[in-house]
Amino acid sequence: MKRQLVWLRSDLRINDNSALAAAAAKGPVIAVLRSLSQWQEHGHGANKLDFWARGVATVKAALNGLNIPLLHRDIERYDQAPAALTEIARDYNIEQLHFNYEYPLNERRRDQAVQGAFKQAGIAAHGYHDAVAFAPGSLLTGKGDYYGVFTPLFQSVA
């Protein structure tokens, strides 16, 4: 049976994680974690980086309890992600990649490049809008524009 690959980045939740749940529903799962060096480019402080690094140990233990191995790969630059992930997919006989979207500009570009590389490799890649109530750009006025005032926006989602 082919495996599912879950790509973890800044969202290290095990419970209530759309990508992890979707992957687990389709078959055996392997999780891969990106390198810490990408976080340093965003100017995060030492305390945040330490908190994140300690969280990784907790996540690894939780995944082990679910019989999900956690791979760690040094993907130092965003443009290295497509090749690194497709190599993992080939090495581990991966059927599908699952990940939760990240919304900053470089992260969106990286995710699009990864999806393109997986499509070219003939491997499905699924992104999930997980940590947000509404996907960016999904709440528009009746004319298709962005809301300029809060009250109509609130009324459209309440």
d(CA 87, CA 139): 37
Taking residues 82-104, report their average pLDDT: 95
Task: Provide the 8-state DSSP code for 79.
Answer: G
Instruction: Give the number of C-alpha atoms closer than 13 A to the C-alpha of residue 121, restricted to the C-beta side.
Output: 24
Instruction: Kindly state the tokens that stand for 96.
Output: 């599908």
d(CA 90, CA 97): 11
Task: Provide the 8-state DSSP code for 150.
Answer: H
CATH classification number, 3-132, choose in 3.30.590.10, 3.90.850.10, 3.40.50.300, 3.40.50.620: 3.40.50.620
The yes-or-no verdict on residue 1 having pLDDT over 80 is no
Residue 130 and residue 19 in contact, taking contact as beta carbons nearer than 8 Å: yes
Taking residues 70-91, report their average pLDDT: 90
Local confidence band at 36 (pLDDT 50, 70, 90 cut-offs): low
The identity of residue 88, as a single letter, is: I
Name the least confident of 56-65, 72-81, 106-115, 121-130.
72-81
Taking residues 58-77, report their average pLDDT: 91
Residues in the chain: 158
Local confidence band at 112 (pLDDT 50, 70, 90 cut-offs): very high
Q: End-to-end alpha-carbon separation of the chain, Å?
A: 44
Burial track 13-48 (b if 16+ CB lie within 10 A, e otherwise):
bbeebbbbebbbebeebbbbbbbeebbeeeeeeeee
Total Cβ atoms within 10 A of residue 97: 26
Taking residues 5-18, report their average pLDDT: 91
- pLDDT above 90 as % of the chain: 51
Give residue 51's Cα distance to chain centre.
19
